[in-house]
Amino acid sequence: MENKQFSFPENFLWGGATAACQIEGAYDVDGRGLSTSDIHRYNSKLDRKKYRSKLVENEHTSATLAACVADQDGYYPKRYGNEFYYRYKEDIALMKEMGFNSFRFSISWPRIFPKGDETKPNEKGLEFYDKVIEEVVKAGMEPIVTMFHYDIPLHLLTEYGGFKNPKLIGFMTRYAKVLLDRYADKVKCWIPFNQTNLIQYCSFKSLGILRDKTDNLVEDQYQAIHNQFVINAEIKKYAKALNPEIKIGIMLADCTYYPNTCRPEDIVFTMRRIRRQYFYADVPLRGEYPGHMLRYFKENDIHVNITEEDRELLKNNTLDFLAFSYYYSRTLDSQNNTMDPRTISENPYLKGNAWGWTIDPLGMYNAISQYWDRYQKPIMIAENGFGYEDVFEDGTVHDDYRINYLKQHIQAVGEAIKDGVDVFAYLPWGPIDLVSSGTAEMSKRYGFVYVDLDDFGKGSGDRFKKDSFYWYQKVIATHGEGLCFDNPENPIMIAKEK
């Protein structure tokens, strides 16, 4: 009985999340510079199941980067996105119609600082976000802004070697201050870095490392992430002096791990992999490096320059909330996997999509609970969703598979709230179909709204409501009460305490 009556808190943030480089397009308009996202070429022969373990982007050198910039033949989908730059009013109106009271989007760094090292921002770029933020606020939504989501200006890679160079601390902090100064009265919730923990998966698009500009990749990755920790703290320090209402969050890509067996070796190995992931939130939320990381650096001859001044800054400027994306869980086998987060094993109990991303709402409940128990800081579900090759017919998509996925995951959030966890937002990924980050496909769709564009950008770009549009609208309108929390087939219910 009690379950039927559950509803989400009145002030809960329901919305959706996007990234500039996957929606905006207009890559060469109004003074925008080129970024890492603009050189992700679409590959129609890509192996969807295997692309994650060998991300070609990470192999980029100065030469391959220049070749992509000069390439006249290939199609680079993130240069065109889903045309949000021209259709933002229509898209925000659709979100409003669904009942969103919040919208997470990112600002494109190369629109504001085209090369990244200028001293003055590009006013034309800022004007675009003046309009977007005004529209979002007018629609009754709280803007949640990511400052950097996989679009480092290319010049910062070729000239400075990316985030491993301490000069980027100054460049990104300057960019962040411009945003805070301009939007502090309208935007209270900021995420400086998208998914900060994927340094092995995304050393190119997250850290800006080119293979010809590093002699020691592992050391450079950890130096780059340290520099990002320092940037977070600098941003927090500036924001709290500007307006104490501003909240700055750290964001992880959740990699919930399960041990393959109850062999103690599997348990300890899994604990270590999870702990390695927590490290990326430990430093910004607790203000210091955990001992196991310092030991790892020492025993592996990894020299990260952490100054006394850095330690003080980190200690005194911890962040306000934890945001994380959750798509699927991973399973680990101590005999076949290593500490490299890209190595995982199959989970025979879970089914997945064409890209091998499994459906596991219990994994999300588990993740939320672990984070809360560890940090006791407010939690934002910054991304969640089910990528699928939708079939568009008669002007719509019957996406019951997406509804089922989202329903179960929202129920997982509900269970955590019932436990007393402060989860304050649920922001499904890509509410209006957008270009995939990992594969640059348009056909890996997450949206409540179908966008008539294919993998080569062909189509009208027009928007069509899917079945999930109306379903999510009802969820929001009823504060989640419209969900069936007592469905006996719901994995969340099956796993109830006995």
163 or 357, CB closer to ligand BG6?
357
25 or 387, CB closer to ligand BG6?
387
Q: Which stretch binds ligand BG6 (CB under 6 A): 270-278, 419-427, 431-439, 472-480?
A: 431-439
The candidate with the shortest Cα–Cα distance to 286, out of 317, 245, 325, 240, is 317
User: Does 409 contact ligand BG6 by CB under 6 A?
Assistant: no
125 or 387, CB closer to ligand BG6?
387
SS3 letters across 112-137: HCCCCCCCCCCHHHHHHHHHHHHHHH
Tokens 């091998």 belong to 356
Distance in angstroms (rounded) separating the CA atoms of residues 27 and 37? 10
Out of 33, 116, 438, 447, the only residue in the binding site for ligand BG6 (CB under 6 A) is 438
Please, what is the minimum distance in Å from the beta carbon of residue 104 to ligand BG6?
Answer: 10
Please, what is the minimum distance in Å from the beta carbon of residue 150 to ligand BG6?
Answer: 6
Angstrom distances, CA of residue 458 to CA of 37, 379, 452: 19, 39, 8
User: Does 277 contact ligand BG6 by CB under 6 A?
Assistant: no
Distance in angstroms (rounded) separating the CA atoms of residues 151 and 469? 29
Distance in angstroms (rounded) separating the CA atoms of residues 353 and 83? 26
Distance in angstroms (rounded) separating the CA atoms of residues 414 and 155? 44
Q: Please list, residue by residue across 101-128, b when 16 or more beta carbons sit within 10 angstroms of its beta carbon and e when fewer do.
A: bbbbbbbbbbbbbbebbbeebbeebbeb
One character per residue 234-253, x = contact with ligand BG6 (rule: CB under 6 A):
-------------------x
Q: Which stretch binds ligand BG6 (CB under 6 A): 280-288, 364-372, 433-441, 447-455?
A: 433-441
Please, what is the minimum distance in Å from the beta carbon of residue 20 to ligand BG6?
Answer: 10
One character per residue 193-212, x = contact with ligand BG6 (rule: CB under 6 A):
-xx-----------------
The candidate with the shortest Cα–Cα distance to 297, out of 271, 285, 319, 279, is 279
Distance in angstroms (rounded) separating the CA atoms of residues 293 and 308? 17
Q: Which stretch binds ligand BG6 (CB under 6 A): 261-269, 312-320, 404-412, 432-440?
A: 432-440
Please, what is the minimum distance in Å from the beta carbon of residue 456 to ligand BG6?
Answer: 17
Q: Which amino acid is at 272?
A: R
Please, what is the minimum distance in Å from the beta carbon of residue 77 to ligand BG6?
Answer: 11
Distance in angstroms (rounded) separating the CA atoms of residues 205 and 227? 15
Out of 437, 442, 449, 466, the only residue in the binding site for ligand BG6 (CB under 6 A) is 437
Tokens 């200690």 belong to 315
The candidate with the shortest Cα–Cα distance to 252, out of 268, 223, 276, is 276
User: Does 192 contact ligand BG6 by CB under 6 A?
Assistant: no
User: Does 387 contact ligand BG6 by CB under 6 A?
Assistant: yes
User: Does 325 contact ligand BG6 by CB under 6 A?
Assistant: yes
One character per residue 357-386, x = contact with ligand BG6 (rule: CB under 6 A):
--------------------------x---
Please, what is the minimum distance in Å from the beta carbon of residue 472 to ligand BG6?
Answer: 18
Q: Point out which residues bind ligand BG6 (CB under 6 A).
A: 19, 22, 194-195, 253, 325, 383, 387, 429, 436-439, 444
